[in-house]
Chain A
Amino acid sequence: MVIILAVGFYFRFNKLGEAPAGFYLDEAAIGYNAYSVLLTDKDEYGMKLPLIFRSFGDFKAPVYSYILVPLLKYFELNEWSTRFPSALFGISTVIVLFLLIKEISENKKSLLPIVSALFLAISPWHVLFSRTTYETNLALFFLVSAILFLYKSFKKPVLMVVSALFWSLSFLTYHSERLIAPMMLCLVLISKRELILGKVKEYRKYMVLSVIVGLVMVLPTVFLFKTPGFLSRANTLSIFSTIRQMPYGFDDEYSGIFSGLVKNEEILMAREFASLYLSYFSPRYLFNLGDYGPRSSYPEMATFFVWQMPFYLVGLFGLIKEKKEKDLKFLVLTMLLISPIPAAMTRDPYSSIRALPQVIPLVVIMAYGLLKISEKIRINALGYTVGFAVLLFSLVKLNSSIFTLNEYFRAKHWEYGLKEAINIALEHSPELPIIIDNSRGEPYIQALFFTKYDPVSYQNENFEVNLGEYYTNMNRVTRKNMERITVKTIEFGEDTGGKEQYLVADVLAISDEQIRNHKMIKIADVKYPDGSVAYRVVKTRKY
């Protein structure tokens, strides 16, 4: 187990602040809001301890930022410290999974807990989300801990309260868990109903306490579910919403006598949901394609290694037929079936970020499959050598994908270069105004993060909505002011002539031709690792 943790630790903590190169705007938003709360008790908009963070109007789950607040007391605000909780909870999930499988396995001598922990420690899927500031990874830790303490509480009821705390945290930490956590909790309780009903007197006190803990933590957020902010996000993503997009396969031109049926939205939605849901079980996505999103996968890496596919098939079939390990079978199969539901309700094909909880049942199934095969086939020294070589090759490949290929091919998607460009502009002259172009994205948050801009000044200089409408008003103000830095869309003419100032933008916003035409001075081009220009810093002339 020590070796497994060491390997898991290496993949999660090595070059944590530098790889992925760049720092995505969501990461910066989580980090800066935590910094703002630390110094002022308020978020960037001046809202005191918000239940969910307004951020870019996407209303981020709050737990990650709040966990970061005490850490920022001891660590400087930077990429490493912001990603640190994710890595820490990532490696902790490996330990908690080990304890969970040990707890629910009938065969206490089985190697299942250790092999499951190994598969999770080296899973490209889990490693990726442990190295980046994504709430989903924390939510997964809370979910697995909640299940572990729930099973433990059947022997030691006081742990029910701890379990309730973790269920609630899981619910509050990421959107997917708002559906997965309650469903899992209900189903585990139903499966253990005889045990619970048989010991009602013993459990009653702790059950009441657990319910109180859960409600106190969860209810305030539940009341926000009907706010326009929350609904707007749901409408954008959900396949069951036709506000922005019709269901897949909707043929507007079809006009037969059965058009009412052929164009029936509910049938098409059911079809789309079934397709999306099944893709989370498809070997093609699990072992070959992975997630299409450049920030949700590593180059040439799927969610698992291809050699794990036979273990998946054997494990799945074996677990369905399993007779002795009732708790294990129930938990793994239930989690396997429930975890992709929230992800399948959104339009993106195979969203590994939303379906992350599925990594747990899948690694257990593959570990189970491996052990089943090793029971059937006697493995000799050659077999062990080949197995070790394959594992080693996979680890080398994962290492190369994270620290070499991802840095080169995906730097753009992690918004590499903005930090360097802002620093160049700031260092070049201590007085001149700087305009950062925001035609694409929300660079103001990265500017706030990288400059560690004083939150009080920022809150005073900017206004978006009255705090009474913090959760309801969807109005967005795109111009942001930070003393001499202004974040806005660059207007040629207005911003490029008349006075001296620096402009920071990508090549789409400021081309070479525009530099010539507007007589600007190119200060620097910040390049991606592949040599193409990421951002450029130019100086306008006074005339």
Chain B
Amino acid sequence: MKIIYYLVLLAAGICWPLSFYKANGFGRISWAIVVAVAIVATSYYLGKKFDGKYELLPLAAMPLVDIRYALVPILAVLIKAVLEKRIVVLNSAIILFCGVIFLLNFGTYKNLSIIPRNALEEHYVNTKLSLYENKHEARLLNNKITSLGSKYLNNFFALVDFNNYFFSMHPREIIGENQNLMKYPYIYVFAFFTGIYYLKKSKDAKWLITILTATVLSLSFLSNFDKFDLILWIPIFMIVTNGVAVVRKKRYASVIMMSMLGLSILEILRVV
């Protein structure tokens, strides 16, 4: 039973890195992303070892790995501060360090973010503005904030969509530049929901909430977060693990786990 349990976890964890490798190989960007994933893993390890004391410290290296990740440590520190209702000196230093790097590279970041408007968007907004009789209404509904907000929300909702992680987005849904990688075998969606439901009881809840929220909020600023969302692999895997651990204690656990394993092998075969 124990072996099956570990195999079930292995099957859950192997899919996303495998499909990422198959789609991207080991180029410069891929290595940067892999290093970012390693930083997240180190953050978790340090959090465990020092009771949450230094868990955000490794994240300070993220802007150096790739500027797209610059906001992750800053947001993580802020979220942790909100959760704990205090901010420690070390974390303030992380904000300062990452903030400076972010500001120095703001030009590059801006070009990679949702801020620039292309000609098509410009034309669409101008067309809309011309349709209103009342110019105040036109400006209220079509301004820079609504335009940026709309792009940000598109990314945000794609990142929090469970179909994104368990069904490669959606059957027959065409996503422009997205690789639509197979991230987790679909059967694990139930383990994921169970894991979310019992998240409060997990020892890692605070770390998971901090990392997940910071990552999702910061990746939503990018014009294309595809590939770079691999840093969510560990936190989501941990939620799935949490769910599988709950299922393990239920009646007919062995039958459920065997089914999960069988179906996930089929999914992995598809990736390979």
Contact = CB atoms under 8 A, between A and B. Distances in A.
Interface of A: 248-249, 251, 254, 256, 258, 261-262, 264, 267, 271-272, 274-276, 278-279, 282-284, 287-289, 300, 306, 347, 349, 393, 396-397, 400, 404-405, 408, 530
Interface stretch (B1-9, B59-67, B77-85, B161-169): B161-169
A404 B132 contact: yes
A271 B186 contact: yes
B172 interface: yes
Interface in B94-150: 127-128, 131-132, 137, 140-141, 150
A282 B163 CA distance: 8
B171 A272 contact: yes
A396 B141 contact: yes
A271 B153 contact: no
A283 B266 contact: no
Interface string B155-194: 0011011110011001111000000000000100100000
A237 to B, nearest CB: 13
Interface in B181-225: 186, 189
19 contacts: A251-B270, A262-B266, A262-B269, A274-B167, A275-B163, A275-B171, A278-B163, A282-B161, A284-B158, A284-B161, A289-B157, A306-B153, A347-B171, A349-B171, A349-B173, A397-B141, A400-B137, A405-B128, A530-B127
B41 interface: no
B263 A267 contact: yes
B120 to A, nearest CB: 14
B92 interface: no
Interface string B240-272: 000000000000000000000001001001100
Nearest to B167: A275
Task: Report the contact-size class of chain B (Cβ under 8 Å from the partner).
Answer: 20 to 34
A171 B127 CA distance: 44
B154 interface: yes
A284 B269 contact: no
A396 B154 CA distance: 21
A400 B140 CA distance: 11
Contacts of A288: 153-154, 157
Contacts of A264: 266
Nearest to A239: B171
A120 B171 CA distance: 29
Contacts of B137: 396, 400
A349 B270 contact: no
A320 B144 CA distance: 39
Given A262-B269, A274-B186, A283 B160 contact: yes
Nearest to A261: B266
A484 to B, nearest CB: 39
Contacts of B173: 349
Most A CB contacts (10 A, CB to CB) among B128, B141, B170, B189 go to B170
Contacts of A397: 141
A258 B163 contact: no
